[in-house]
Amino acid sequence: MQTKIVSKNFEIPHAETLAVALQNGRYASLEKLFTFTPQELIDIIKASGLRGKGGGGAPAGAKWQLVSDFEGKKYLVVNADESEPGTFKDRQILAKDPHLLIEGMICTCYAIGSNTSYVYVRGEYEEFSNILQVAIDEAYEKNLLGIDAKYPVEITIHRGAGAYICGEKSALLESLEGNRGHPRLKPKSPEPEFYFGEPTLVNNVETIASVPFIVENGAEAYTACGTDCSPGTLLFAISGHVEKPGVYEAQFGVGMWDYIQELGGGVKGGKKLKAVIPGGASTPILPAHLVYEARLDYESLKTIGSALGTGGMIVLDEDASMVKALKNLLRFYHHESCGQCTPCREGTSWVDKTLDKFIAKTATHEDLEILKSVSKSMNGKTICVFAPAASGVIEGFLKHFESEFLECIQ
Amino acid sequence: MSFSFSEENNLKIASLMKRYPQKKALILPLLWMAQKQDGYISEDAMQVISEHSHMPYMHVYSVATFYTMFRLQKPTKRVIEVCRTLSCELRGSQEIKKHLLENYSDSYEIVEVECMGACSGAPMCTLDGKYLENLTPRLLDEVLNAN
Ligand SMILES: Cc1cc2nc3c(=O)[nH]c(=O)nc-3n(C[C@H](O)[C@H](O)[C@H](O)COP(=O)(O)O)c2cc1C
Ligand code: SF4
Ligand code: FES
DSSP per position, chain B: ------HHHHHHHHHHHTTSSSGGGGHHHHHHHHHHHHSS--HHHHHHHHHHHT--HHHHHHHHHHSTT---S--SSEEEEEE-SHHHHHTTHHHHHHHHHHHHTTTEEEEEES--S-GGG-S-EEETTEEE-S--HHHHHHHHHH-
Fold observed for domain A233-317 = Ubiquitin-like (UB roll) (3.10.20)
pLDDT value at residue A410: 86
Kindly report the nearest CA distance between residue A33 and chain B, in angstroms.
25
Q: Please report the pLDDT score of residue A252 as a whole number.
A: 98
CATH number of the structural domain A322-406: 1.20.1440.230
Distance from CA of A218 to the nearest CA of B (A): 32
ipTM of the predicted structure?
0.97
Instruction: Give CATH 3.40.50.11540 domain extents, chain A.
Output: 18-223
Q: What is the mean pLDDT of residues B113-134?
A: 97
Ligand minimally distant from the alpha carbon of residue B114: 3
From B25, B27, B87, residue closest to A314, measured CB to CB: B87
Domain B7-66 matching CATH 3.40.50: the answer reads: no
Coil, strand, or helix at residue A235?
A: strand
Quick one: pLDDT at residue A189? 78
Residues of B in contact with A328 (CB under 8 A): 84-86, 89
For chain B, the structural domain boundaries read 7-66, 78-146
B77-87 confidence digits (pLDDT tens)? 999 999 999 99
Between CA B99 and CA A113 the distance in angstroms is 54
Query: Whose Cα sits closest to atom 18 in ligand 1?
Result: A169
User: Any idea which architecture A18-223 has in CATH?
Assistant: 3-Layer(aba) Sandwich (3.40)
Q: What is the pLDDT of residue B1?
A: 56
CA of A342 to the centre of ligand 2 (A): 8
Which ligand sits nearest to residue A340's alpha carbon? 2
Q: pLDDT per position in chain A (410 positions), as tens?
A: 999 999 999 999 999 999 999 999 999 999 999 999 999 999 999 999 999 999 999 999 999 999 999 999 999 999 999 999 999 999 999 999 999 999 999 999 999 999 999 999 999 999 999 999 999 999 999 999 999 999 999 999 999 999 999 999 999 999 999 999 999 998 877 889 999 999 999 999 999 999 999 999 999 999 999 999 999 999 999 999 999 999 999 999 999 999 999 999 999 999 999 999 999 999 999 999 999 999 999 999 999 999 999 999 999 999 999 999 999 999 999 999 999 999 999 999 999 999 999 999 999 999 999 999 999 999 988 999 999 999 999 999 999 999 999 999 98
Instruction: Output the pTM of the full model.
Output: 0.97
- Domain B78-146, CATH number (from 3.40.190.170, 2.60.15.10, 3.40.30.10, 3.40.50.1400): 3.40.30.10
Q: What's the rounded Cα separation, in Å, for the pair B87 and A328?
A: 10
Give yes or no for a cis peptide into B123 (omega within 30° of 0): yes
